[in-house]
Chain A
Amino acid sequence: MSQYLILIYDDEAAWESAPPEASAQIHQGHTAFAEKNGPAIAGGNALQPTTTATTVRPDGADGFTVTDGPFVETKEALGGYYLVEAADLDEAIALAKQVPVVSGGLEVRPILTFE
Chain B
Amino acid sequence: MHSAVAAAVAEAHRREWGFVLAATVRVTRDIDLAEECVQDAYAKALTVWEERGVPSTPAAWLTTTARNRALDLLRRESTWRRIMPMVVEDDVVDEPSLDDDEIPDDRLRLICTCCHPAIAPEARVALTLRLVCGLTTAEVARAFLVSEPTMAARITRAKKKIAAAGIPYRVPPAAELPARIEAVLAVVHLVFSTGHTAPTGDRLRRGDLVERALDLARILRVLLPANADVAGLLALILLTDARRATRVDEEGQLVLLPDQDRTRWDRAEIAEGIGLVHDALQARPPGRFALQAAIAAVHAQASSWAETDWQELVGLYDKLGEVWPSPVVTLNRAVAVGFAFGPEAGLAALDELGDEPQLATYGYLAASRADFLRRLGRLDEARLAYEEALALTDNEVERRFLEGRLAALA
The yes or no verdict on A and B being binding partners is yes
Could you tell me which A residues sit within 8 Å of B by CB distance?
A: 2, 4, 86-90, 92-93, 108, 110, 112
Residues of A within 8 A of B164 (CB): 110, 112
Contact between B166 and A2, CB atoms less than 8 A apart:
yes
Contact between A88 and B167, CB atoms less than 8 A apart:
yes
Whether, in the assembled complex, B168 has its beta carbon less than 8 Å from a beta carbon of chain A, the answer is: yes
Expressed in whole angstroms, the minimum distance between the Cβ of B114 and any Cβ of chain A is: 14
**Which of A86, A87, A90 is most buried by chain B, counting CB atoms within 10 A of its CB?**
A90
| Nearest-neighbor residue (CB-CB) of B172 within chain A | A90
Q: Which of B89, B166, B176 contacts A89 (CB 8 A)?
A: B166
The complex places the Cα of A49 from the Cα of B35 at a distance, in Å, of 48
Residues of A within 8 A of B89 (CB): 87-88
The complex places the Cα of A87 from the Cα of B91 at a distance, in Å, of 12
Interface residues of B in 105-120 (CB under 8 A from A): 116, 118
Contact between B87 and A110, CB atoms less than 8 A apart:
no
The complex places the Cα of A36 from the Cα of B176 at a distance, in Å, of 21
Residues of B within 8 A of A110 (CB): 164-166
Interface residues of B in 170-206 (CB under 8 A from A): 172, 176
Residues of B within 8 A of A87 (CB): 87, 89, 166, 168
Expressed in whole angstroms, the minimum distance between the Cβ of B284 and any Cβ of chain A is: 28
Contact between B172 and A89, CB atoms less than 8 A apart:
no
Interface residues of B in 36-89 (CB under 8 A from A): 87, 89
The complex places the Cα of A112 from the Cα of B166 at a distance, in Å, of 11
Residues of A within 8 A of B118 (CB): 89, 93
Expressed in whole angstroms, the minimum distance between the Cβ of A65 and any Cβ of chain B is: 32
Give how many B residues have a beta carbon under 8 Å from the other chain's beta carbons.
11
| Nearest-neighbor residue (CB-CB) of A92 within chain B | B166
Main secondary structure of the interface of B (DSSP, over half): loop
Residues of B within 8 A of A112 (CB): 164
Expressed in whole angstroms, the minimum distance between the Cβ of A23 and any Cβ of chain B is: 31
Additional A-B contact list (16), CB under 8 Å, known A2-B166, A88-B166, A89-B167: A4-B166, A86-B166, A87-B89, A88-B87, A88-B167, A88-B168, A89-B118, A89-B166, A89-B168, A90-B167, A90-B172, A92-B166, A93-B118, A108-B165, A110-B164, A110-B165
Expressed in whole angstroms, the minimum distance between the Cβ of B110 and any Cβ of chain A is: 16
List 8 A–B pairs whose Cβ atoms lie within 8 Å, in order of A's numbering. A2-B87, A4-B166, A88-B89, A89-B116, A89-B168, A90-B176, A108-B165, A110-B164
Interface residues of B in 355-386 (CB under 8 A from A): none
The complex places the Cα of A47 from the Cα of B374 at a distance, in Å, of 66
The complex places the Cα of A87 from the Cα of B118 at a distance, in Å, of 16
Residues of B within 8 A of A88 (CB): 87, 89, 166-168
Expressed in whole angstroms, the minimum distance between the Cβ of B223 and any Cβ of chain A is: 20
Expressed in whole angstroms, the minimum distance between the Cβ of A84 and any Cβ of chain B is: 12
Expressed in whole angstroms, the minimum distance between the Cβ of A98 and any Cβ of chain B is: 15
The complex places the Cα of A18 from the Cα of B213 at a distance, in Å, of 50
Residues of B within 8 A of A2 (CB): 87, 166
The complex places the Cα of A57 from the Cα of B369 at a distance, in Å, of 59
Residues of B within 8 A of A108 (CB): 165
**Which of A2, A87, A88, A110 is most buried by chain B, counting CB atoms within 10 A of its CB?**
A88
Residues of A within 8 A of B167 (CB): 88-90
The complex places the Cα of A92 from the Cα of B164 at a distance, in Å, of 13
| Nearest-neighbor residue (CB-CB) of B162 within chain A | A89
Residues of B within 8 A of A89 (CB): 116, 118, 165-168
| Nearest-neighbor residue (CB-CB) of B91 within chain A | A87
* Top-4 shortest CB links A-B: A88-B168, A88-B87, A88-B166, A89-B166
| Nearest-neighbor residue (CB-CB) of B86 within chain A | A88
Expressed in whole angstroms, the minimum distance between the Cβ of B20 and any Cβ of chain A is: 24
Contact between A90 and B168, CB atoms less than 8 A apart:
yes
The complex places the Cα of A78 from the Cα of B260 at a distance, in Å, of 59
Residues of A within 8 A of B166 (CB): 2, 4, 86-89, 92, 110
Expressed in whole angstroms, the minimum distance between the Cβ of A95 and any Cβ of chain B is: 13
Expressed in whole angstroms, the minimum distance between the Cβ of B111 and any Cβ of chain A is: 15
The complex places the Cα of A88 from the Cα of B164 at a distance, in Å, of 10
Residues of B within 8 A of A92 (CB): 166
Expressed in whole angstroms, the minimum distance between the Cβ of B82 and any Cβ of chain A is: 12
Residues of A within 8 A of B176 (CB): 90
Expressed in whole angstroms, the minimum distance between the Cβ of A40 and any Cβ of chain B is: 14
| Nearest-neighbor residue (CB-CB) of A87 within chain B | B87
The complex places the Cα of A88 from the Cα of B168 at a distance, in Å, of 6
The complex places the Cα of A15 from the Cα of B66 at a distance, in Å, of 55
Residues of A within 8 A of B116 (CB): 89
The complex places the Cα of A90 from the Cα of B87 at a distance, in Å, of 11
The complex places the Cα of A4 from the Cα of B166 at a distance, in Å, of 10
Residues of A within 8 A of B168 (CB): 87-90
**Which of B164, B166, B172 is most buried by chain A, counting CB atoms within 10 A of its CB?**
B166
